[in-house]
Structure 1
């Protein structure tokens, strides 16, 4: 059954929010920078949090809040993946999980691969865990963005010990195929390296593209890999602090089990409660409605750019609500987000923050109403003349 698209909240109501998106800039700025969305929460989440507040249920997170069962059911329904509940452990957020996994899989000074342009915190979490950043940029072809497997193999041959995989990829919205992931796993295994996959945008993959969890790509992937995910991006729960570290082999599961108890204690109770409600089947219709809206918006953005900003270069993303837009041809410098904010009052994410390949780009969040998206691109288009 097809569900109708989800409607964004009125902007007057959104401006009452106290989160980063709505407090970083004055009210005359349209904020399309940070990865927060403008929709009402899934009803099951609202009800669960409302009940907790009414009960004063604001204490410590219990050892088993129901996340393991909820996520394993979600993964089977949405991805066709059967993950053992013993391979699921929670922590505060995805980057916290990445840092802890690196601390337990690399030695100080080991090089860790990332694939720019990529999520900016990747550059910081590797040194936090004692590693050194090594980059193997994505390759762009006429078909889209892809991993440079030959470059990754050369980096592992040169001594790199681990890789942070972003799948789906932020900011390009690329979803790596099962075949690519299996080949990546084989390469890592050949050098005794580890793959840590950030899969936070996985619930928002748009048809006909199919999401493959890295750990399910092959038996080798299960052996060399770890994954970290959360309900926070799809369901707009970032402030509640709950993420999941995932494993699919006895050896990797033991690595996560050996982490200090404090790693799991960092899970927020409201994050756990909301995560269970998000992954429950009763929230599936809401998620499908959200995806329907984002599907419309990602295509609307292409039309708006063609009309108002024809020099822009934009590939419709396969996942999520983040658009990676090349504005180099507009002549607005290496960091066009600065000029756009200053002269049009539209806040976009700085492409340069994503590393190599980010010069001349902006990242735009289209998880908003069509009206807000249209207004933003119209303003930017006027700047182009």
Structure 2
């Protein structure tokens, strides 16, 4: 997987993961840096230790200087996303008239599930998976049904078909929440895999909602395929955003995209949902997608370096930890079961090593004994984190 070329330009910007010192990072007031005491090294929640890309910072500064801080309007975000998808993925399938801005990806998922399912209906997920899938789905009066991944960390289609058949027997409007690329494993679903998803969904009458927030963070050796680009996915709905790739979680905005056969569903989206995104967020995300390509390329190269570094450090210091390098995201899913630290090794690493990682337990079936580590930081902090993890075992 490592070392294979990507069909994107060579980076022209400095690696943003090497720009900020630990002292600078500790001045931040966001969740990553304020949840734990200062003696804890935080490599957990999905925030990156990077400065803003200059095109994004410039767009935000210009908006503030102009007082352009009202309500969001227009289709600039969707147009920028369409251009990005065409350039990066060779996909011209984002039709602006079949798109809508939503507050963020998770709230967008909630709104899409409201359109295609009803109270009490099942929503299938591939566990272990992003914990908010369980939280948000449960809070909206739907029930999560797991179709666990295979031992290789990829979709098990035998399990998925059995699950689709089971939920279809007792529900009129079942849905499938697809995580693509997958969080936490970092698997990038192939075109063949996504086509099989679409075929099964059509056979069993299951509506697909795809969370594709990590799509721009596909690393060397893998190719992201938009779900709506595969045959049979015409009734699908997708949520996309620049927030993960450009570290814009605090500037809320995302885009919902409908396949041709789901256009009428998206047209039923309540108008007030479009009032939820931040106008400044929309401006920032649009600038990222239009003008942040060089910065993103430099980031991807830095993440690729960090991916290799982590593999080397684990081999040297924690050889019992099993690790399949991610194809996308900036997250590493570490199998710590051989360490005999119980279901929640993250608690041990925090208490004894003073390094904060995500516990695998909230990711559902298949998560016990795992931790998720955030690679979007400097090589020095990754090295220190693994050192602390090893110390925690002494």
| TM-score (ref. length: structure 2) | 0.93
1:177 match: 190
2:144 match: 133
Partner Cα distance (1:344, 1:255) in 2: 50
1:154 aligns with 2:165: no
CA contact (8 A) 1:81 1:216 kept: yes
Partner Cα distance (2:57, 2:361) in 1: 37
Partner Cα distance (1:277, 1:89) in 2: 18
Contiguous gaps of at least 5 residues in structure 2: 1-8, 169-173
Q: How many residues align?
A: 377
2:335 match: 326
2:230 match: 217
In the TM superposition, residue 65 of structure 1 has moved relative to its aligned partner by: 5.2
Contiguous gaps of at least 5 residues in structure 1: none
CA RMSD for the aligned pairs? 1.2
2:29 match: 18
2:40 match: 29
Q: In the alignment, which of 57, 60, 69 is matched to residue 58 of structure 1?
A: 69
Pick closer, same or farther for the CA change 1:65–1:18 going to 2, 3 Å. Answer: farther
2:376 match: 367
Partner Cα distance (1:186, 1:333) in 2: 39
Partner Cα distance (2:145, 2:323) in 1: 27
Out of 366-375 and 126-135, give the one that drifted further. 126-135
Deviations 1:216-261 (A, max 9, x none): 011x1123x1111111111000011101111120x31221121111
Deviations 1:275-329 (A, max 9, x none): 100110x211100000000000011000011111111111100001100001111
Which residues of 2 match residues 91-170 of structure 1 at below 5 A?
Answer: 91-141=102-152, 145-160=153-168, 161-170=174-183
Partner Cα distance (1:61, 1:215) in 2: 26
Partner Cα distance (2:158, 2:90) in 1: 30
Q: In the alignment, which of 326, 344, 366 is matched to residue 357 of structure 1?
A: 366
CA contact (8 A) 1:100 1:129 kept: no
CA contact (8 A) 2:103 2:252 kept: yes
Deviations 1:139-158 (A, max 9, x none): 023xxx21111211112212
CA contact (8 A) 2:348 2:392 kept: no
Pick closer, same or farther for the CA change 1:365–1:185 going to 2, 3 Å. Answer: same
